Copies of this chain bind each other. A is one copy, B any other.
């Protein structure tokens, strides 16, 4: 089942090829990560000749990069959704703590629910500009990285995290959560049972909270 949906069109122009290619690329990435994003298959799904893609993406890499940003956007959505499910807390400090943990659990939920998109989100030859690009943002307009930063700011504002520890804290928390995600998704920990993964997630966030 390589090519699906060979859309026949009557007009010579496609109309919205760039978007169609991006969506096809996202589907491919969802199924197999960034290196499952194959240009020709995307054009096939869009019902268009292979070369047409080059009118919208200079390169296969350009398509993959666009897919990366979109995948990061989906990650942001999952993180927002996780924060939205939080029960009302007792106090502001507890609320800030819960929001912070939700950033991590949302991140890991996404990685385990959409492993292909997760891998695609972080392997497109990207730098920090990608982590702050508007295309990578969720409904609230914040990228995953910015959601983490906001949660950390809240921790400081509520006195949970000493201000002296704030600088660079995003990279520490990010590293810990990202590391577990990578090990679970396509690292040596891929075989662990879901409930064990949940438990490890909890322990990891405990460690981060204590250690930050």
Chain A interfacial positions (CB closer than 8 Å to B): 35, 122-123, 125-128, 130-131, 145, 168, 171-172, 174-183, 186-191, 199-200, 203-204, 206-212
Beta-carbon nearest neighbor of A125 in chain B: B186
13 residue pairs bridging A and B, Cβ less than 8 Å apart: A122-B187, A126-B187, A168-B199, A171-B180, A174-B183, A175-B180, A178-B179, A178-B187, A179-B181, A206-B211, A207-B211, A210-B211, A211-B212
Q: CB distance A188 to B35 under 8 Å?
A: no
Number of copies: 2
Chain B hits for A123, CB < 8 A: 186
Contact B200 A172 (CB under 8 A): yes
Cα A181 to Cα B199 in complex, Å, equals 23
Complex contacts, A179 vs chain B, CB 8 Å: 174-182
Question: Are A182 and B178 touching (Cβ within 8 A)?
Answer: yes
Of A35, A168, A207, most B-chain CB atoms within 10 Å: A207
Alpha-carbon gap, A211 to B183, bound state (A): 20
* Contact with A204, one of B175, B189, B199 (Cβ below 8 angstroms): B175
Residues of chain B lying within 8 A (CB to CB) of residue A200: 168, 171-172
8 more CB-based (< 8 A) A-B contacts, given A125-B186, A172-B203, A172-B207: A126-B188, A127-B188, A128-B189, A168-B199, A172-B204, A175-B183, A178-B182, A210-B211
* Bound: A126/B189 CA distance, A: 9
Q: Is the CB of A183 within 8 A of B171?
A: yes
Q: Smallest distance from the beta carbon of A33 to chain B beta carbons, Å?
A: 10
A189 to B174 Cα, complex, angstroms: 11
CB distance from A78 to the nearest CB of B (A): 18
Residues from chain B with Cβ under 8 Å of A127 in the complex: 188, 190-191
**A177-B179, A180-B179 given; A189·B210 CB < 8 A:** no
| Shortest Cβ distance from A210 into B: residue | B211
* Min CB–CB distance A161 → chain B (angstroms): 12
Cβ contacts under 8 Å, A168 to chain B: 199-200, 203
Report the separation of the CA atoms of residues A186 and B186 in the bound assembly, to the nearest whole angstrom: 15
